[in-house]
A and B are shown apart, each in its own frame.
Chain A
Amino acid sequence: MGIIEREGFFTTKLETLINWTRKNSLWPMPMGLSCCAIEMMSFAGPRFDVSRFGSEVFRFSPRQSDVMIVAGTTTYKMAKVVRKIYDQMPDPKWVISMGACASSGGMYRTYSVVQGIDLFLPVDIYVAGCPPRSDSVLKALLQLQEKIQRGETFVQTKKGTIET
């Protein structure tokens, strides 16, 4: 107690404190659909070491995840599954669209590939590249952390619509 008395105290808003805790423990849901998933694994591995930013816990259950990294080509058949997993994640939740295919369909301009996952998901951060380097994904995560600290989030209402 003596130390705390000597150091003093600081005041903050509860919202800021909660956002600070949220942004430093973003647990990813690895939605690895194709080759981008390899870079996503490297991003979690020791070389790029995302545990420096509190996201090392890749949860393979949507119930325990905060941010879904959609890494790869999303086909129409898979879109339903991606959306279902997104719906199973508890609020608050965020989405990183990793790579050209997830962001815009990429080179797969064809009937079977969704031309951008933002057609059926609210996306927070897009990462360019085919596949993006792991440090680009780290940068996306850091930008997402800034966004969370600013308090900008999508909120899902009961009707299923998305509001900012």
Chain B
Amino acid sequence: MKNLKQVLLDKLANNFNISNESTQECQGDLTIVIPKEKLLDICTFLRDDFELSFDMCKDVVGVDYNRHEYRFEVVYNLYSLKNKFRFLLKVKVDESNIHIPSVVDIWPGANWPEREVYDFFGIIFDRHPDLRRIYMPEEFEYFPLRKEFPLMGIHGSIPLPYK
């Protein structure tokens, strides 16, 4: 039986032209960086391909690297129940164009994690069915996990009840 990692990399290289340079492995965690335009196609392929069948989107998280180009990253933690194989799919997002296609149509379980990333980083998931804040109060105006947000918050931004 062929190594599933090699199968995955070969299929991505053949079908989507993903080079090996965008792949890295650290402590057994395989990471593949893909361009944003190909996200939906690649995700659909990963789910529907019989051999790979990445049928589970475990988590969607955001990262703020606080750099000029491609400030944010969205990381998809994908798992194949059939092959017991996991890898991380990364998509870079620029601050000037802070939109990314939603993968809720592919994995419905990504609904709440995407809302969480929106809540904390302000990354807008296009075609998400219900993109509201999930943890912070709905009238909150800031994105608290961005690097410029002060640790103790902005005074008076969340009102307390009267005493």
Q: A interface vs B, CB < 8 Å?
A: 76-77, 79-80, 83-84, 109-112, 114, 119-122, 160-162
Contacts and interface: CB of A to CB of B under 8 A. Distances in A.
B68 interface: no
- What is the interface of chain B mostly: helix, strand, loop, or mixed? loop
Contact of B136 (A77, A83, A84, A110): A77
B26 interface: no
Given A76-B137, A111-B144, A112-B136, A119 B152 contact: no
A36 to B, nearest CB: 21
Interface in B46-87: none
- What is the interface of chain A mostly: helix, strand, loop, or mixed? loop
21 contacts: A76-B160, A77-B135, A77-B158, A80-B161, A83-B161, A84-B161, A109-B151, A110-B153, A111-B144, A111-B149, A111-B151, A111-B152, A112-B135, A112-B136, A112-B144, A112-B153, A119-B160, A119-B163, A121-B163, A122-B163, A161-B163
Interface residues of B, number: 15
A88 to B, nearest CB: 13
B163 A162 contact: yes
Given A110-B153, A111-B153, A112-B153, 10 more contacts: A76-B160, A79-B160, A79-B161, A83-B161, A111-B150, A111-B152, A111-B154, A120-B161, A122-B163, A160-B162
A26 B144 CA distance: 41
B161 A110 contact: no
A162 B163 CA distance: 7
A160 B162 CA distance: 8
A82 to B, nearest CB: 8
A110 B163 contact: no
Contacts of B163: 119-122, 161-162
